[in-house]
Structures are given as structure tokens and as C-alpha cells.
Amino acid sequence: MKVTNTKTLIRARLNFYPHTETLREHYGHTDSDFSHVAGIYCLNTCDGFTRVDDGTIIESVANRFYTFNGGKQHNSTTTTNSKGRYNINFNLI
């Protein structure tokens, strides 16, 4: 999904997933019940990731911004090799 045609910011939030001994994959969810652009800006590099509805795994790499359809199932994880996983999440239409 491209961010270039968006007009409205629905939500922005900061996520912090603390270090865990084993990588924990969270339950899948949708951000809203309609198609929209979800964006994640990674603040640090770690072994955590986001899995989107088609099974694609997007690694947490510092200064990377990626988008996907926030109306589709996706999930996040914790991290085992950093003090925490830090992201800024955006939902746009």
C-alpha cells in the first residue's frame, strides 16, 4: 500500500515490547474493520517482527518504514536480542 494518496491520520502511537527470554508472537488482529494504510516505523533493530495476513514477515530494522493493509490480520512479536522493540505505528486513510 502506498502512503502518497492518504488524506487523514486516524491514529499514531508508540509501541514498546520488552525483552523476553523466548520470542513471543502475539495474536493476530486488525487495526480497523475497513481497508486502510497501516505504517510501522522501526526505531531499533532487533529480532522482533511483524507478520502480515499473507504470511510475509517484516523484520524490525532501525529507520525502516513499511506499510500494509491495517484492515487485514497482522501480528507483532517481542524481542530476545535487545532491551525492547520500539515502533511508531500509524493508521491513515
Domain ranges of the chain: 9-92
User: What is the pLDDT confidence band of residue 7, given thresholds at 50, 70 and 90?
Assistant: confident
Q: What's the rounded mean pLDDT across residues 65-80?
A: 97
pLDDT of residue 64: 97
Domain 9-92 has CATH 2.40.160.100: no
How many H-runs (helices) and E-runs (strands) does the chain carry?
Answer: 0, 7
Is pLDDT at 2 greater than 60 in this prediction?
A: no
Distant-in-sequence, close-in-space partners of 42: CB < 8 Å, separation ≥ 6: 60, 61, 62, 63, 64, 65, 86, 87
Tell me what the pLDDT averaged over the chain comes to. Answer: 95
Q: What is the pTM of this model?
A: 0.90
